[in-house]
Amino acid sequence: MRIIKGAQKARSTILHRAPLDDRELPPAVQDLIRRVFGAELGPAQVVDRILCDVRENGDAAVRRYNEEIDGVSSEAAKLPLEVSPDEIRRAKSEVDQALVAALTVAAERIRAFHEQQLAHSVKSFQIGGVGQVVRPLARAGFYVPGTGAIYPSTVLMSVIPARVAGVSEVIMATPVAPNGVVAALKLVAAEIAGVDRIFRAGGVQGTAAMAYGTETIPRVDKVCGPGNIFVTLAKKKLFGEVGIDGIFGPSETLVVADAHADPALVAADLLAAAEHDELATAVLLADSAELAEAVSAAVEAGLSTLDRAAVARESLEARGGIIVVDSIAEALYLANEFAPEHLCLHVSIAAHAVQHVRNAGCVFVGEHSVESIGDYTAGPSHVMPTGGSAAYASPLGVQDFLKVMSVVRLDQQTVDKIGPPAAAIARAEGLTAHALAIESRLRREHS
């Protein structure tokens, strides 16, 4: 791994983020766009065209893009968009029961964590004539990417918080294989998580279908879930038309380690972070040049043992690195500036260090708090803010599926007390009807 020294150089190199849509598309994707749309289009233009088409043409547009973009065969594109109960039942017999048991353990821990989160979440109240009531969303939609690589953990981590929050109906849209089949593992995970309905609708068309509603796919209150650059741009454009959970980019991990850290464990965490995909970020902030060298050597040795070695190597070469800083305090300052999705603390007094962390999606405190367990069975959702949004956003949780309604219930005494100043403000703003509406409620003293 490349090793640099100093915070200033780190800011301009390893810790520098490029804008989400400032990335050149691979040649194969550019060719596909020309073939489907007959023109040279950028990602935002592609998204605009698909959104408009789905809004106007519903199911027909979804089927067409399933075929033309996702590669579904013409015959499979004619299958019902909704996955049938029989398909889900068959999927159960195709997945190894030991894996089903593992998913069940994960689901139980995720559910337990979010039940605690709900218990400590925003509550209804009524004080002095004003208050609030908390209600869950009626319907949430989840986009679940992937046909080659299947991530059942993301289904659990996304859907279970919604169910715990009390969402009445949960639907899922997902791309399918060329034969129109949804991966059995994805279907099993969806059933364990509590998904009500599943639809064959990939990419932007699936996201748009849930946002607008089609003849088959119901409109949702909130669209959730990660995706590629096209799905991410679609969510940005749809915000306001529908709620969204957040804008999620590639995975990010910062490790802060002091001279006492175990180089092998630090390297293990960096490799786990890098194997997500080529765009992932895996960075070490260390206060020891000796540790930096040892970790770099351990990473190089570990790469050869990975099934996804090529992916991890490209990630590390393009976006990874080691930054040698003067102190752990400086490392934490840089980490707060970067606001990573994951922050791993391999330091002697990790419990003390965490008190100085302000911006992170999740903090893994101490060498035993393995980020990879956080991806599966720790409990908190692994759907977390990326791209620096941890400075103002939170991990997916029950709060994303709750909304607050203010309630005003005034008696005559309160109206008499707060009405006159309200009327005075209304008249100052030139809103005479507001003032008259207030004054008509004021108690008139008997002469």
How many angstroms separate the CA atoms of 218 and 208, rounded? 11
Residue pair 268/299 in contact by the 8 Å Cβ criterion: no
Q: Token pair for residue 418?
A: 């707060």
| Per-residue pLDDT tens digits for 411-437 | 999 999 999 999 999 999 999 999 999
What CA–CA distances, in Å, run from 335 to 8, 285, 286? Answer: 13, 8, 12
Q: Are 163 and 194 in contact (CB under 8 A)?
A: yes
Which residue from 287, 241, 243 is spatially nearest to 266, judged by alpha carbons?
A: 287
* Residue 83 φ then ψ, to 5°: -70, 135
Residue by residue, pLDDT tens for the chain (447 residues) are: 999 999 999 999 999 987 766 667 888 999 999 999 999 999 999 999 999 999 999 999 999 999 999 999 999 999 999 999 999 999 999 999 999 999 999 999 999 999 999 999 989 999 989 999 999 999 999 999 887 778 899 999 999 999 999 999 999 999 999 999 999 999 999 999 999 999 999 999 999 999 999 999 999 999 999 888 899 999 999 999 999 999 888 899 999 999 999 999 999 999 999 999 888 999 999 999 999 999 999 999 999 999 999 999 999 999 999 999 999 999 999 999 999 999 999 999 898 999 999 999 999 999 999 999 999 999 999 999 999 999 999 999 999 999 999 999 999 999 999 999 999 999 999 999 999 999 999 987 543
Residue-level pLDDT at 22 = 63
- Which member of 252, 275, 341, 367 is catalytic? 341
Report the 10 Å Cβ neighbour count for 194. Answer: 17
Rg (CA), the chain: 26
Torsion of CA 354, 357, 363, 367, to 10 degrees: -40
Which two tokens mark 238?
Answer: 């749809």
Strand 197-200 to strand 222-224: parallel, antiparallel, or no bridges (unpaired)?
unpaired
* 75 has catalytic annotation: no
CB 282 within 8 A of CB 372: no
Mark residue 98 as left, alpha or beta (left: phi above 0; alpha: psi -120 to 50; beta: remaining): alpha
Spatial CB neighbours of 88, under 8 Å, sequence gap ≥ 6 = 187, 190, 191, 198
Please state, in angstroms and rounded to a whole number, the distance separating the CA atoms of residues 250 and 387: 8
Q: In what order do the strands lie in the sheet with 125-127?
A: 125-127, 130-136, 402-408
Q: Which residue has the tokens 């691979």?
A: 26
Could you identify the residue written with the tokens 């749309």?
37
Rounded Cα distance, 366 and 344, in Å? 7
Task: With beta carbons less than 8 A apart as the criterion, state whether 398 and 122 touch.
Answer: no
Q: What is the pLDDT of residue 226?
A: 87
Q: Is 60 left (phi over 0), alpha (psi -120 to 50) or beta?
A: alpha
Which tens digit of pLDDT belongs to each residue from 350-404? 989 999 999 999 999 999 999 999 999 999 999 999 999 999 999 999 999 999 9
| Helix H or strand E segment including 243 | strand 243-244
How is residue 329 written in tokens? 């305090």
Residue 64: other Cβ atoms inside 10 A = 17
Q: Is 341 a catalytic residue?
A: yes
Q: What is the set of domains in the chain, with CATH numbers?
A: 3-19+250-378 (3.40.50.1980), 77-244 (3.40.50.1980), 410-439 (no CATH)
What CA–CA distance (Å, rounded) separates 443 from 437?
Answer: 13
**What pLDDT is attached to residue 20?**
67
Which amino acid, one-letter code, is at 103? L
Coil vs helix vs strand at 213: coil
Catalytic residue among 114, 276, 342, 346: 342
Q: What is the DSSP string of 323-377?
A: EE-S-HHHHHHHHHHH--SEEEEESTTHHHHGGG--S-SEEEESTTS-HHHHTTT
Q: Does the model's pTM come out above 0.85?
A: yes
What are 446's two structure tokens? 């008997």
At 208-249, the pLDDT tens digits run 999 999 999 999 999 999 888 899 999 999 999 999 999 888
Residue pointed to by tokens 């902030």: 285
CB 119 within 8 A of CB 166: no
